[in-house]
Structure 1
Amino acid sequence: MNAAGARTWLNWTQYADHGPDESLLGPLRGRRVRELGSGAGCNLAHLATLGAECVGVDIAPRQRVKAEARWGDLPNLTFHTVEAAEFLTDPPDSFDVVLSIFGPVWFTAPTTLLPLVRQSLSTGGVFAFSHTPPKAGQRPGESLRGARAVSRWDYSADEWADLLASSGFSNVAADIIAPPEGEQGGTLLARAEA
């Protein structure tokens, strides 16, 4: 149970216990689920407890260590340290669900990543991702300054819908989830099928 009393702890948004639950992904028991940018593994661990066969990938070795320390005893859950596009380039099998919550979809050129995700999904498979919506004046692929320069692919919901459709996805939906009362900034959430 999460803090709101729901039987989920999957968080699509930057606000705990806010937004849709895992039903956005369809049935999970027995399905092969991959999370790109799995971080400390909390969201993926929840899906594993629902009977999904889960693999998380994250480029940061420290995240894998944290995920395995916390969730390593759960069955049907493994973590790998690898860059998302590299992981998808030669997958050993197809996936039923690919998700990314504030992960590599936001930091990898969609012309590279979306075709790889599409080809890795089984027929009817689901791809879903979330990140904050672009701020006024942000351009897709613009480098953000900080400790390291990072490119972020800040597209609007409509632009993501067009990119997904042009990459061969169907039943595409992309929208902004409003923030909880008293908070600033919503969350862009996209879902599509192979």
Structure 2
Amino acid sequence: MSETEGAAWDVYSATKGQRRRTNNRGETTWFNWTQYADHGPGAEVLSLKPGQAVLDLGCGSGGNAAHLATLGMRAVGVDLSSGQLRKARDRWADAGGMELHQDDALEYLAGTYTVFDAVYSVFGAAWFCDPGLMLPAVHAGLRPGGVFAMSQRPPVEGCYGCQASYISRGPDEDPAIVKRWDYEPDVWSALLKEHGFLDVTAMVLPAPEDDKRTVGTLLIRAVRAGE
């Protein structure tokens, strides 16, 4: 685990509050793929059944993993930030079936003996890992037929490949810097197929019509090829 990256995400954690207590339907747990509240598809993207194992790469404060745990899945969350995991443990202490680890996503995948039925990342570690390393690791950690899905911001036109994200540490310090990987949907589709995934979809979900913001969400889903 990179101490520098872990510290950067702790800085990010300090700027973020906890998830709302309920969503607009009054639910206390829910799954959200986008940066907009109550928008887009839900956990059905992962095609999971109760009792199956699912891995959240970059689980943050744990809201999505907690929701899957309440649906009966064995939900494992991995995050570099001790601050984010502290929030997750405080908020979701009663979420049976949720397991949290402070670790680098690739290192966790390399060291676990669990074969997962689904792996996902919501604006999480999959966005901040070189896909040449991340996709083979996810493929190895999924059962044949298992689902991999990830969401992130779409790329800025002309800014593709490894990019820098700057996280403010206040007016008197340089920002923390982490790398991310941005590609257009067709490139992600080609990368996933190259690394043994089938039934690939990659699309930009538009922002809600009633929101002043206009940036959509890139949502990618693929299935690990069988053997």
Report the TM-score when normalising by structure 2: 0.81
Shift of the 6–186 alpha-carbon distance from structure 1 to 2, 3 Å rule, reads farther
- Corresponding residue to 1:159 among 171, 181, 187: 187
Give the aligned CA root-mean-square deviation in angstroms: 1.6
Which amino acid counterpart does residue 223 of structure 2 have in structure 1? E
Opposite residue 114 of structure 2, the aligned amino acid is: D
Distance in 1 between residues matched to 2:65 and 2:166, nearest whole Å: 30
Code of the aligned partner of 1:187: T
SS in 1 for 2:176: coil
Kindly indicate whether residue 165 of structure 2 is the aligned counterpart of residue 137 of structure 1.
no
Alignment partner of 1:191 is 2:221: yes
The answer for the alignment partner of 1:24 in structure 2 is 45
Output the CA distance in 2 between the equivalents of 1:113 and 1:38: 16
Structure 1 range deviating more: 20-29 or 106-115: 20-29
The structure-2 alpha-carbon separation of the partners of 1:136 and 1:45, relative to structure 1 and needing over 3 Å to count, comes to same
Q: Tell me what 1:84 maps to.
A: 105
Partners in 1 of 2:177 and 2:127 — Cα distance? 14
1:58 to 79, 92, 107: 79
Q: Which amino acid in 2 is paired with 1:186?
A: G
Task: Describe the superposition over 1:121-155 as per-residue Cα deviations: whole angstroms up to 9, x where unpaired.
Answer: 01111100000100123121022345122211011
Percent pairwise identity:
44
Quickly say closer, same or farther: Cα 1:19–1:163, change in 2 above 3 A. same
CA contact (8 A) 1:72 1:78 kept: no
Distance in 1 (alpha carbons) for counterparts of 2:41 and 2:29: 10
Which blocks of at least 5 consecutive residues in structure 1 are unaligned? Answer: none
User: Does residue 168 of the first structure (1) align with residue 196 of the second (2)?
Assistant: yes
Structure 1 or 2, whichever has the larger Rg, is: 2
The number of residue pairs the alignment matches comes to 194
Q: Tell me, in whole angstroms, the C-alpha distance in 2 between the residues paired with 1:39 and 1:158.
A: 28
**Matches of 1:176 and 1:124 in 2, distance apart?**
24
Q: Distance in 2 between matches of 1:120 and 1:156?
A: 25
Secondary structure at the aligned position of 1:141 is classed as strand
Q: Which residue of 1 aligns with 2:68?
A: 47
CA contact (8 A) 1:8 1:22 kept: no
Change (3 A) 1:5 1:68: closer
CA distance in 1 between counterparts of 2:49 and 2:214 reads: 32
Shift of 1:89: 0.8
Give 2:116's match in structure 1, choosing from 87, 91, 95: 95
Return 5+ residue gaps in structure 2 as ranges: 1-21, 168-174
- Per-residue deviation, 1:17: 0.7
Give 4+ residue runs of structure 1 displaced > 3 Å after superposition.
Answer: 4-8
SS of the aligned residue for 1:66 comes to helix
- The answer for the alignment partner of 2:5 in structure 1 is none
Deviation for aligned residue 1:92: 1.4
1:4 is displaced (CA, Å) by: 4.4
